[in-house]
Structures are given as C-alpha cells and as structure tokens.
Amino acid sequence: MSQPLQQRTQFDPGSSLQVPERKRGLATEIWKHRKQYLAISPFYILFAVFGLFPILFSMYLSFQKWDGIGVMTFNGVNNYQFMVTDPEFWKAVGNTLLIWIYSTIPMLFFALIIAFLLNASFVRFRTFFRIGYFLPNVTSLVAVAIVFSTVFSNNYGLLNYILSQFGADPVEWLNKTWGIQLAVSIMVIWRWVGYNAIIYLAGLQSIPTVLYEAAKIDGATGIQSFFRITIPNLRPIILFTVITSTIGGMQIFTEPQVLVGNDGGVSGGGLTIVLYLYREAFVNNYFGYGSAVGWGMFILIALISLINWRVVQGGGAKDE
C-alpha cells in the first residue's frame, strides 16, 4: 500500500525472502506511525459509533415495530407499506418539493444577480455589502421564524398592512396551504441568498480575466462572453449550490415547526418530510416507522440529486 514497499519489490523481484520481509516492513511502518494513527483515530471512532452504526441500525429498526420503550417486534415491510400508502407522507413529500422549488429557483437567481453586481469592477464598499448580505445566514432559524411570523401574521401583520395600503383585503397567510409555503420559502430565500451570492462571486472572481480579454480581441460581445465564458466556468459552482440547496431543501424543519407547529399548520401546508418524521418518531413514538421514513427521505434526496446532476452536466454537454 505504501510508497517505499512498492519500490522495494521493484528492486528485487522474485526473491523468496520478499514476502515475509514485506510483511515485517509493513508492520514496522505501521508501528512506527502509531502516533499518527492515534491522531486521526478520533474521527473514525466517532464516525463508526455515531455515523455508520446508526445508519445500519436504522435499516434494522425500519423493519421493526417499536415505541422506544417496550419490546421490539419484527414487522416485515409493514412500515414501508404504511409509508407509501399514507396520504400524509405524500403530502409531506409534495410540500417539501414545492417549498424547495419556490425557494431554490428565486434564491439562486437573485444570488447570481447580486454576485454580478458585486463583481462589477467599479463597485466600492464591496466588503460592507458582502457582510450585509451574509448576515441573515448566521442568524438562528428559530429567531428568523419568530420575526417572519409577525410579517405573515393572519390579521395585523406587516404584509397585510402593505396589502391594505394598496386597497386589498387582508389574507390569512398562515391558515392557507400556499400562504404557509410562501412564508417558509421566503424565509429560506432571505437566509440563503447572501450565502450563495458570496459563493458565486468567488466563482466569478476565479475566472481568469485573460479569457475575457482574448474574447474581446476576437470580437465577442458582452453577451457572447457571458454565455461562452462565464456560464461554462461557473457551472461546477452552480452545481455545488444546486446540490447543497437540494440537500438543505429536503431537510427543512425548523421554519415550519416554529411558524405553525408540529402538524404543519391548520391546512398542513407546512408539514415537510423531516417535520413528519419528527412527529411520527418523537411525538407519536413510532420509532420503527420513523426509521423507515428516514430511508424514504434518503431515496428521495438521492433521486433528486441525480436528476440535478444530470440536468447541470447534461446542459454542459449540449453547449459544447
């Protein structure tokens, strides 16, 4: 496995003493580096106990019926069967996907625009803007949800006040499926636009200016260099932001839980998959079923990530 060993076998191929010597060599090498192994071991031990084992254990649990206290009984595929036939589960899947789409598309769009604006060569106070835009991202979700609940409040919220200024009737935002989903999406957008803008900005700045200069000499217009240079060079970064927003979007929990409670509001519009999982496992104590829902969510994330990857990569292949 290590470099020196491979070199040694090259020096005397076919020697009969080679095998025991190699073994002894490897063992000595390992023993010599025991301190280094010790130094990196905490991560692997922690991952084995709190990362890998729970994943395997959740596979086992998902085939059991268990309330967390009493006796575990084997349940076959009943948990999974219940999951795919439970309308609430599919509602949670639908809500999560809708909130993800409502939030991700405007979020990445605005982030890209802000990044372009900040990247203009003559912009001053760039650091100041970057800090201002990033501030929402370090704020706790619980706090954000509490503030936004007054904005979207059913009767005398800020948004209803703005509507009334235009002569419109107040809307009971938090009693409507779409109202809750809009509120959650806006919270997500607000919190993550700055983060993504900063990443796009770094991506823009890492594109060598020589490329643009060469394009200019060749007579390319600004729009041409945008589509031929900027977008292709930014593609891996866009893919990164799409994947992180997908993983984040599939796991939305705090915003709806604090905003409208464990049931996702009057109409259930805020019931996301993780909120559903939390409710079934930790409020209703269906531990086996909760584990099965975890796997359902995992498959969903994997599927959507794959589609994302195909779309972003596939788009690249067509361009070239």
Partner 1 sequence: MVKRKSALLLYVGLFIGLIVSIFPFYWLAVMATRTTAEIYSFPPKFWFGTHLIDNLTRVFDSVDFVGAFLNSLFVATCSTVLVLFFDSLAGFTFAKFNFPGKKWLFVLLLATMMAPSQLSLVPSFVIMAKFGWVGSFKALIIPGMANAFGIFWIRQYAQESVPSELLDAGRIDGCGFFRLYWNVSLPILRPALSFLGAFTFIGSWNDYLWPLIILNDEKKFTLQVALSSLNGIYVTDYAMIVAGTLLAVIPLIVLFLFVSKQFISDIAAGAIKS
Contact between 58 and partner 1 per CB under 8 A = yes
Pair of tokens at residue 113:
């625009």
Applying CB under 8 A, does 138 fall inside the site for partner 1?
yes
Among 106, 136, 232, 316, which residue sits at the site for partner 1 (rule: CB under 8 A)?
136
SS3 150: helix
Instruction: Report the residue number, 81 or 139, with the smaller CB distance to partner 1.
Output: 139
CB of 118 to partner 1, least distance (A): 7
Contact 184, 255 (CB under 8 A): yes
Q: Is 294 near partner 1 (CB under 8 A)? A: yes
Q: Which is nearer to partner 1, 3 or 16 (CB)?
A: 3
Selected from 132, 208, 222, 314, the binder of partner 1 by CB under 8 A is: 132
Q: How many residues appear in the chain?
A: 320
Pick from 201, 238, 242, 260: which binds partner 1 (CB under 8 A)?
A: 201
> Least CB distance from residue 91 to partner 1, whole Å?
18
CA dist., res. 308 & res. 287, Å (int):
32
E strands in 190-229 = none
Cα 19 from chain centroid (whole Å): 48
Residue 195 binds partner 1 (CB under 8 A) = yes
- Binding to partner 1 (CB under 8 A): which residues in 143-182? 143-144, 146-148, 150-151, 153, 155-156, 158, 161, 164
Q: Is 142 in the site for partner 1 (CB under 8 A)?
A: yes
Q: How far is CA 196 from the centre of its chain?
A: 12
Name the 3-class secondary structure at 128.
Answer: helix
Among residues 315, 190, 308, which one has the least CA distance to residue 243? 308
Binding mask 16-55 for partner 1 (x = CB under 8 A): ----------x--xx--x-xxx-xx-xxx-xx-xxxxxxx
Asked if residue 182 lies in contact with residue 102, where contact means CB atoms within 8 angstroms, the answer is yes
